[in-house]
Structure 1
Amino acid sequence: MKLINKSILTAVITLSTASVYYAQQVQDTATAKSKDIEEVILRGVTDIAKDRKTPVAVSTIKAAQIIERLGNQELPEILNTTPSVYATKSGGGFGDGGITMRGFESRNIAIMVNGMPVNDMEGGTVYFSNWTGLSDVTSTLQVQRGLGSSKLAIASVGGTINFLTRSADMKRGGVIRLGVGNNDYLKTSFAYNTGKSENGWSTSFLMSRQAGGTYIENTDYESYAYYFALGWEPNKKHNFQFTLTSAPQWHDQRTYAPTIANYIKFNPDQDGTPYRQYNSDFGYYTDATGRKVALANRANYYAKPVMMLNWDWTMSEKSKLSTVLYMSNGRGGGVGDLGKVGGKSITSFYDNMGHFNYDAIFAANQGVNVGTAAPGSTLIRRASINSHNWYGILANFQHKINDNWNFSIGTDDRYYYGYHYQVISDLYGASGYKEGGNANVNPYVVNKIYDYKKLSWNPFGGKTAPLNEQVGYSNDGEVLWYSAFGQIEYSKNNLSAFLQGSVSNQSYQRIDNFVKDGSTLKGQTVHTKTGFKDLFGYNIKGGANYNIDSHHNVFANIGYYSKQPFMNSVYPNNQQLLNSNLTNEKIFSAEVGYGFRSPKLNANVNLYRTEWKDRWLRRGGMQFEVADPTAPNGVGIITGYSEISGVTQVHMGIEVDAVYKPFAFLDIDGMFSLGDYKYKGNANGTNFDDNNNPLGTTSTLYLDGVKVGGSSSNSIPQFTASLGATIKPVKDLNIYGTWRYVGELYSSIDATTFSKIENQAKGTLKLPDYNLFDLGISYKIRLKDTSKYFTIGANVYNLFDTTYISDGATNNHVKTLGDFNNNQQQYDAYINNPDNFYKGIDRTNRVYFGFGRTWTANLSFNF
């Protein structure tokens, strides 16, 4: 590890902070309550951690900070000054950002909206492009690292992120906002709250639109957001809140991480530096007027409306029942290529600037007689549909036994049906595409095109394409989820404690519409419907907090999860066969913490350890060698993923955060987190292409003792720090800046690399450390009526335009003499050539560079 300047590190430890304590936050005391949170959210089923009472590591961000500082960044990036959190833009497309917490990725972090889980029920994933509207309607964002305080049967291995939206009964008023920024970023929004009427009715709504591009080449997007809340409180015993929100969008993407060598090779300036904007997932074609037009091969489009009806019933002074009915019907998918033309995949058609030569693809496709050609003989762009219908009920009964004891019991029940199939998004000049993989229909030609830029606003429609217009694959996933939970709490004087447990049954069924019912696969009879497979899981956790005095408190928590695996582990290899080695994942976690509170300084220290056994994961964004007679050496390269099972990980670390307010006009905040995340034992992997076709290759992954890396192209840091300050030289003027350091950053694990035992000693590739600085300013212009005011602001991200690698996809270490079969001459030629390296790592590594300097400016009017 490279050491940071000792004086800086000392300052970080002394003045460190999590997001929980920012300039807008009121200083907590021993008797402080979370009223600022509870007064503006839907409270019934949300588990809000309270300072100096709930024994978990927690950070809280208010709406003012999100509005002031987020700008055109990815939504998770607002959490980057929180200990053990690492959020990046990943490939750089709108909403494509990723997040890790304590070394665990988003599929193993519980993402919630008003206490309702929103992680995908088949694979646990969360696509933040579906939730961009939350930045406009979130009143409070709470992050609980580790086990968290949620009573639900959710496996918050890394932690819990809960977006708490505004309730309908906020005070009367509205706001109009306008934002502009780099790459034609433009955002407009309007919101209004009616306040509560005399007979208990209230309404809140918001509408917004943003469009433009990101820092990366050809990543245009268009996104809308709407939010509507209707509240009714007929009396003191009943409170009803209905909410509807969605953020329909389309955006062009960069999903494949280029090599460092290609970033440099395809720099238009040819100055030997990386062209950070480079995107290898698009190209150009010549239209009828002779004009060159950009065309994306990778894109995403989605609309995910969520409707919730909350009912809080105060049954008596001691009892309360909170119930939520919800529905989430998502529609959309992702765009990529399918098929070959002349035996060539799309990667055979790059031009001399590293983009696709669509004129050549169009010409090759036009030369194919689709009717007589073999299936898959044209190269097209497909849209992989990933739609779903999701319904649920969440109920929580709370009862106060006496002044010291209370308990709660409840249930979380869900039904989910997912639609997964492919349709044609662009024929790339072909007359059609012949599908031959549907065992229930003879090979058929499809030429119907679905435009991904035409957003679907209908949350109730079923499949949008008949079977004879589907290509590639067509399978559905059906999930039934039943769970019960209970919690007992004790609080007296300076001691508070809880014990919580939950049980759940997850039932999975896979339906493959391309499989012939009663056919034989690997010697077994398979059916279009597999039938449901029930998986039982449970968790138990407990903790206690003790307030030593008005300044000091200590806490501890411990928990064990038996977590059901995701659906693609239950039915691996994308086939109708049940996993014969199916087992629950086991997670054991323990944590201790210390807090200090005073009028000028707040500080926290946490120590944690989590062990995760029998983990299953999918590693995407990989390259595989396959037989290709058209290639010069008979070997071709395709992209795909690997399913990896039997993984054990051990994560432990320390977190420090604090805020210091030496003067009324100055807040200083910072944080420091250091982790040690390693794999324990070896694992097994099976490989597939991007269209879910098994490649017939399996391997043992030699991971024992190797540092933990992410899946796909996300990296995991094990050392982060930040230091920030907010200055208020005059009333209503805020000037703020943040320094952030990322170190011990490890690339994604590469299943291909670690299938060779000799690479185990080399370990996961460590990427270069980096420092970033952000700067912002905001000023309120108050009118004579003080309830009305304008706010102007601006933010500059990566102020010094630092070039850095945010994520890595491969583990290509600097070669040794042994890699050249001890040929000294070849090794010397390699090691002495600076063109083979970038900041000490091999240029053949595939990475994502972080964005250069970007900016936003905004103007708003509150009334």
Structure 2
Amino acid sequence: MSMKHYLKTSQLKKSIIAALAVLLLPCFAMAQFSISGSVSEKSGQALPGASIRLKHKATGLITDAQGKYQFHNLKAGTYVLTASYIGYLSTEKTVRIATDATLDFVLSPQAFLADEVIVRATRAGDRSATTYKNIGKTEIEQNNFGQDLPFIINNTPGVVVTSDAGAGVGYTGIRIRGSDASRVNITVNGIPYNDSESQGTFWVNMPDFASSVDNIQIQRGVGTSTNGAGAFGGSVNIQTGSFSENAYAELNNSAGSFGTLKNTVKLGSGLIDGKWSFDGRLSRIKSDGFVDRGASDLKSYFLSGAYYGKTDLLRVNVFSGQEKTYQAWNGVPEAKLRGNLEGLKEHYANNRDYLYYTEADSLKLFNSNNRTYNQFTYKDQNDNYTQNHYQALYAKQFSEKFSFNGALHYTAGKGYFEEYKNGQKFSKYGLPDVTIGGSSVSRTNLVRRRWLDNDFYGFTYAFNYLPVSDLSFTLGGAYNQYRGKHFGQVIWAEYASNGDNDRHYYDGKGNKDDFNSFLKVNYTVDDKLNLFADLQYRNVAYAITGTDKNRNALDFHNNYNFFNPKAGATYFVDGQSNVYASFSVGNKEPNRDDFINLKSGLPVPKPEQLNNIEAGYRFKNSSLDAGINVYGMFYKDQLIFTGEINDGGDPYRQNVDKSSRMGIELDASYVISQQFALNANAALSRNKIKNYIDYIAEYDANFDFIGMQATTYASPDIAFSPNTVLFGELVYKPLSGFAIALQSKYVGRQYMDNTQNESRRLDAYWVSNARLGYDFRLKGIKNINIGVLVNNIFNEKYESNGYTYSSIYPWGKTTENFYFPQAGTNFLISLNLKF
């Protein structure tokens, strides 16, 4: 063979190989590979439950009982993996794959404890047989434009939120699985936040708190044992800001519709001498509200200092919220909302002696905007409250097997709501009639304030013991005391009697002691099966004395002993999926209004009990994180409104023998590509009361009360419990640092009472929002974020809350419905600077 012929043959072979390579390149590019490995500590002991994430991707895995993980269906290319575990330093590794790869991680213990240990005792973990949702700091920041915290967690399964002022600032509410705020347990760093007497949560008292939150866990149903009142619909466990190694400063500002303005300044020292850190935040939020005169003026601060030792952590938090909110809690009459002039005239005729005393009141009722109408006209018809919190949080790692965390806390709250009242009897305020020009005057126009002055203090604790790697114990609990003072003052009267501004026309007290202790046991039987048991004992001593707002004597002394057992199992099908099931019992005491509004002569209400069954399937790989859950919540003696009123016209709740909530929930996140991601959840439920009796007040022609008429309903829906709640979000990231999210939420129809009457309902609504965010850098600034939030982009006219009552007169039955309209299309723009 000649050299020339050889060279030609060699070149031909190279050309063929090159051509084949080009033809096969797409096949190699489309090939799917895996990355697997293990996570352990330096001693070689596996770390089950460690988090493995693909950097710059919304995907992650949790290691199995042997500390192993595996990502499937990865394209050829370069990946950055991060491994993390509580109490250990995170480790990052880069790997380039063109075939299946193995990547092991060895984590080193941190020189100090992580802040997460503070809330670990009351949190559900990845191996828990509990239904929960975690929300991280990034997601909180993306959605924080100044609206109250319920609107930041609105996109989680089965959650419905509402706003009195219609735009998410001021008085807002949240329901989980149809359960109201008094049945949703809230803790901040494991410390109870719900008001001890009403058991509700008033988010307006903690404005812009989201700016100081690191993460949130929402548990649905009874959940794990926690501190505070029993969780009947769910619990929201909030952890405030955690350790930051470097010093920082932030300026966060938002502005938008209805004069809404948020200004936030945050500063942090970073770690000083490897031991100390200090953080602070100062915020203000102002908004005129969508509803007429629905303004809010909110201020808050958050200060935190921490000491990090080798085996212990001490953090002290001091934070405060101050709110001044114009009252918008009466809603809009149905005839006004619908533009029904004849109906509005009838409403006016039925209520002019109670709601519309003056010519200005009447003109406003007929001439104002149908959706933004607010009955109140008095310039200082507002709510004023200040709440100061003090927390000392401590954690100690005695050994690899034994640790402790606990907290001391104190909350001081004081404030009042002020209101103008027409034609009030002097006798109602303990004042004698006055004589003017020889004539006796028994009524006067006046301005009154109703005060709440309370103190809440106590401690929480948890001991954690890990005798062997597959068995753990947590012994925890809390003891808290509440001391509340309720009193009223008349600060102005058209006709002065012998009172003065400082005189209390009623004085009531509420003293509540709450003790609980729980033992949690987790046992890993083998690679596949994890079992848990959770036993809680809770004792509540609650005394109500003095006089109520109607000057009636109060003398209630109640002591409750509750046993709340929980048990469940999680079975790991493989490294990506597991199934779980649990059974839990919850008990809950009545609230203050259940006692003070009770009709004279009736027995005191009984506590409520809930038996909760949860079962589900979870799946997680590199692109899909999904779960499906079915539940049954079976109540004994649930307290509900039945239409009954007391002598002062106040409604009160009564126990119903049996009621239930059953449903199915789906929650999924899917990374379609580097540019697109999809998030969706659905909650479908059936919420029923067995053998419900409804009562309607009956009056004679002189409007004097005669009695109550009763009607029995076989199996009506529970009020404010939509059978369908759906959410979907499409996220598009066309370039680095820029993201667009389109969100849509559907809430099915809700009934405003327990009769399932179609004339007393909230219509279903479907609301869509759009959120844009762009992150970039300039010299001297670590990060600049510009955000835009457009709410209700299709200008849906809807009402998210309301109330109803009926009366019977000689000429027939009258039903009054009131609604809380929410804002149409509105926007918020934010500019956030990090240094």
Structure 1 residues 600 and 791, CA gap change in structure 2 (3 angstroms): same
User: Alpha-carbon deviations, 1:131-189, whole Å to 9, x = none?
Assistant: 22312111112111112223446411111111211035554212111111111111111
Are the aligned partners of 2:606 and 2:655 in contact in 1 as well (CA < 8 Å)?
Answer: no
User: Alpha-carbon deviations, 1:212-270, whole Å to 9, x = none?
Assistant: 3111101122111100011012x322210000111111010211122221132699999
Are the aligned partners of 1:326 and 1:392 in contact in 2 as well (CA < 8 Å)?
Answer: yes
Indicate yes or no: 2:719 matched with 1:644.
no
Task: List alignment gaps of at least 5 residues for structure 1.
Answer: 1-20, 284-294, 346-366, 435-443, 449-464, 627-637, 689-693, 710-714, 750-759, 822-841
Equivalence map 1:798-817=2 (5 Å): 798-810=792-804
Indicate yes or no: 2:103 matched with 1:103.
no
Structure 1 residues 271 and 780, CA gap change in structure 2 (3 angstroms): farther
Structure 1 residues 68 and 282, CA gap change in structure 2 (3 angstroms): farther
Q: Distance in 1 between matches of 2:577 and 2:630?
A: 17
Are the aligned partners of 1:780 and 1:792 in contact in 2 as well (CA < 8 Å)?
Answer: yes
Indicate yes or no: 2:739 matched with 1:734.
yes
Are the aligned partners of 2:253 and 2:264 in contact in 1 as well (CA < 8 Å)?
Answer: yes
Indicate yes or no: 2:494 matched with 1:430.
yes
Indicate yes or no: 2:785 matched with 1:791.
yes
Between the aligned residues of both structures, percent identity stands at 20
Match for 2:563 among 529, 538, 542? Answer: 538
Equivalence map 1:607-646=2 (5 Å): 607-617=630-640, 640-646=650-656
Deviation of 1:569 after TM superposition, in Å, equals 3.6
- 1:186 aligns to what? 261
- 2:468 aligns to what? 402
User: Alpha-carbon deviations, 1:21-76, whole Å to 9, x = none?
Assistant: 99985433445887599997452244465664111121122233233224243320
- 1:336 aligns to what? 419
User: Alpha-carbon deviations, 1:423-472, whole Å to 9, x = none?
Assistant: 235x3x6254x5xxxxxxxxx423x2xxxxxxxxxxxxxxxx5xxx223x
Are the aligned partners of 1:169 and 1:196 in contact in 2 as well (CA < 8 Å)?
Answer: yes
Are the aligned partners of 1:153 and 1:502 in contact in 2 as well (CA < 8 Å)?
Answer: no
Q: Distance in 1 between matches of 2:456 and 2:437?
A: 40
Indicate yes or no: 2:527 matched with 1:507.
no
Are the aligned partners of 1:168 and 1:241 in contact in 2 as well (CA < 8 Å)?
Answer: no
Indicate yes or no: 2:239 matched with 1:229.
no
Task: List alignment gaps of at least 5 residues for structure 2.
Answer: 1-53, 70-82, 89-112, 345-362, 699-703
- 2:372 aligns to what? 277
Q: Counterpart of 2:238 in structure 1: which amino acid? A: F
Are the aligned partners of 2:187 and 2:227 in contact in 1 as well (CA < 8 Å)?
Answer: no
- 2:728 aligns to what? 723
Given the two structures, how large is their TM-score scaled by the length of structure 2? 0.77
Structure 1 residues 657 and 374, CA gap change in structure 2 (3 angstroms): farther
Match for 2:775 among 773, 780, 783? Answer: 780
User: Alpha-carbon deviations, 1:345-386, whole Å to 9, x = none?
Assistant: 9xxxxxxxxxxxxxxxxxxxxx98689997972222322212
Q: Counterpart of 2:376 in structure 1: which amino acid? A: D
**Partner SS state of residue 786, structure 2:** strand
Q: Distance in 1 between matches of 2:304 and 2:487?
A: 34
Q: Distance in 2 between matches of 1:407 and 1:558?
A: 19
- 1:597 aligns to what? 620
Q: Counterpart of 1:660 in structure 2: which amino acid? A: Y
Deviation of 1:695 after TM superposition, in Å, equals 8.1
Q: Distance in 2 between matches of 1:649 and 1:24?
A: 44
Q: Distance in 2 between matches of 1:110 and 1:71?
A: 25
Match for 1:445 among 494, 499, 509? Answer: 499
Match for 2:233 among 135, 141, 158? Answer: 158
Deviation of 1:610 after TM superposition, in Å, equals 0.4
Deviation of 1:687 after TM superposition, in Å, equals 8.9
- 1:249 aligns to what? 323
**Partner SS state of residue 261, structure 1:** helix
Are the aligned partners of 1:396 and 1:409 in contact in 2 as well (CA < 8 Å)?
Answer: yes
**Partner SS state of residue 152, structure 2:** helix
Per mean C-alpha deviation after superposition, the further-off stretch among 244-253 and 258-267 is 258-267
- 1:556 aligns to what? 581
Are the aligned partners of 1:323 and 1:395 in contact in 2 as well (CA < 8 Å)?
Answer: yes
- 1:756 aligns to what? none
Are the aligned partners of 1:103 and 1:718 in contact in 2 as well (CA < 8 Å)?
Answer: no
Deviation of 1:204 after TM superposition, in Å, equals 0.7
User: Alpha-carbon deviations, 1:107-139, whole Å to 9, x = none?
Assistant: 001011111111111121111111223121111
- 1:239 aligns to what? 313
Q: Distance in 1 between matches of 2:129 and 2:208?
A: 31
**Partner SS state of residue 379, structure 1:** strand
Q: Distance in 1 between matches of 2:58 and 2:128?
A: 18
- 1:484 aligns to what? 517
Deviation of 1:774 after TM superposition, in Å, equals 0.3
- 1:828 aligns to what? none
Are the aligned partners of 1:41 and 1:165 in contact in 2 as well (CA < 8 Å)?
Answer: no
**Partner SS state of residue 180, structure 1:** strand
Given the two structures, how large is their TM-score scaled by the length of structure 1? 0.75
Deviation of 1:762 after TM superposition, in Å, equals 4.3
User: Alpha-carbon deviations, 1:292-341, whole Å to 9, x = none?
Assistant: xxx253x2111111111011111222111111000011111323344625
- 1:826 aligns to what? none
- 2:390 aligns to what? 307
- 2:205 aligns to what? 130
- 2:410 aligns to what? 327
**Partner SS state of residue 160, structure 1:** strand
Q: Counterpart of 1:768 in structure 2: which amino acid? A: D
Are the aligned partners of 1:145 and 1:160 in contact in 2 as well (CA < 8 Å)?
Answer: yes
Indicate yes or no: 2:485 matched with 1:419.
yes
Deviation of 1:685 after TM superposition, in Å, equals 7.1
Structure 1 residues 642 and 513, CA gap change in structure 2 (3 angstroms): closer
Indicate yes or no: 2:508 matched with 1:475.
yes
Structure 1 residues 45 and 271, CA gap change in structure 2 (3 angstroms): closer
Q: Distance in 2 between matches of 1:430 and 1:42?
A: 58
Higher relative contact order (CA 8 A, sep 6+): 1
Deviation of 1:413 after TM superposition, in Å, equals 0.3
Indicate yes or no: 2:755 matched with 1:707.
no
Q: Counterpart of 1:603 in structure 2: which amino acid? A: A
**Partner SS state of residue 211, structure 2:** helix
Deviation of 1:648 after TM superposition, in Å, equals 3.4
Q: Distance in 1 between matches of 2:730 and 2:210?
A: 23
Bigger radius of gyration: 2
- 1:62 aligns to what? 136
**Partner SS state of residue 734, structure 2:** coil
**Partner SS state of residue 67, structure 1:** helix
Deviation of 1:859 after TM superposition, in Å, equals 0.7
Q: CA RMSD in A?
A: 3.9
Q: Counterpart of 1:781 in structure 2: which amino acid? A: F
- 2:673 aligns to what? 663
Structure 1 residues 560 and 849, CA gap change in structure 2 (3 angstroms): same
**Partner SS state of residue 80, structure 1:** coil
User: Alpha-carbon deviations, 1:710-761, whole Å to 9, x = none?
Assistant: xxxxx33220111111111111111111011111322244xxxxxxxxxx58
Structure 1 residues 154 and 395, CA gap change in structure 2 (3 angstroms): same
Q: Distance in 2 between matches of 1:844 and 1:532?
A: 36
Q: Counterpart of 1:498 in structure 2: which amino acid? A: F
Q: Counterpart of 1:804 in structure 2: which amino acid? A: Y
Are the aligned partners of 1:643 and 1:686 in contact in 2 as well (CA < 8 Å)?
Answer: no
